[in-house]
Amino acid sequence: MEPGVEAAAARLGRARRVTVITGAGVSAASGIPTFRGAAGLWKTYRPEELATPGAFAKDPRTVWEWYDWRRQAIAAASPNSAHETIAAWSLRFEEFTLVTQNVDGLHELAGTLGVIRFHGSIWILRCAVSCGARPDGWEDRTAPLEDLPPRCPECGGLARPGVVWFGEAIPGDALESAWRAVECDVCVVVGTSSLVMSAASLVDEARARGAYTVEVNPEATPASSRVDCAIAGRAEEVLPEIERLIRARA
């Protein structure tokens, strides 16, 4: 068993308010490449070169080809034991919030309640020229997409993915709800490189407000030295192990 698992289970076992923050590592075992690992490279591009308004303005087709590639990987994927454990926690704790940076929808598919999507959804499209006809965008689960780049059904202008790009603001309501949710007893941050703001600052805020903080990640991150308990392991192994111990103690 990884060091820290016992301590995390003990804290969670007596927690009332729990907040979990996730990143791409949670979906790695479902076959979805993380952004910053070697598998995150697509053709010769890094995500930081594609997930920006500037990249889309310059070459919407290439940006859409990348999203179409990710959409196809996600369409073929199912939630793994990390998503399932988090879904069980969302039912167990008196107050539970999941703040996810993932746009794949696998947490929702696993049945997790209380999901705050920080970076939107890859299954939502929006009008890139903001014609205003569908301000919240529309759902499109076609994978692969029939026409690249896809178009707004109202005005015929370019459509864009309904995700938050580098340099764009996190939706205000998501940010506000996340800020409220870090007022908790235990905050668990899982599978994120903790490099991208504002998600990266949430665990620090939780700790500053008195929460016991746990990180689950096979690699060290900037958050590792700042949390109370850093567990070096994979989400799909560590989270079910924590859950097993919580049940054994109950």
Residue positions annotated with a catalytic role: 119
Considering beta carbons, is residue 159 or 235 the nearer one to ligand OAD? Answer: 235
**CA separation, residue 88 to residues 118, 152, 170, 184, 197 (Å):** 21, 38, 27, 18, 28
- Closer CB to ligand OAD, 132 or 167, in the complex: 167
Nearest in space to 28 (alpha carbons), one of 196, 238, 242, 235: 235
CA 1 centroid distance within chain: 26
Q: Which is nearer to ligand OAD, 52 or 177 (CB)?
A: 52
Output the smallest distance, CB 111 to ligand OAD, in A. 20
> What secondary structure letter does DSSP report for 187?
E
How near is the Cβ of 35 to ligand OAD at its closest, in Å? 3
Residue nearest to ligand OAD (CB): 25
Q: Return the number of the residue (95 or 121) whose C-beta is nearest ligand OAD.
A: 121
In the complex, what is the shortest distance from the CB of residue 118 to ligand OAD, in angstroms, rounded to a whole number?
7
Q: How far is the CB of 132 from ligand OAD (least distance, A)?
A: 24
Residues in the site for ligand OAD, rule: CB under 6 A?
23-25, 28-29, 34-37, 40, 47, 51, 101, 119, 164-166, 191-193, 195-196, 216-219, 221, 234-236
Helices (H), 112-193: 172-181
The DSSP H or E segment spanning 66 is: helix 60-75
CA atoms within 13 A on the CB side of 94: 8
Strand partners of residue 22: 100, 190
**Cα(23)–Cα(13) distance, integer angstroms:** 24
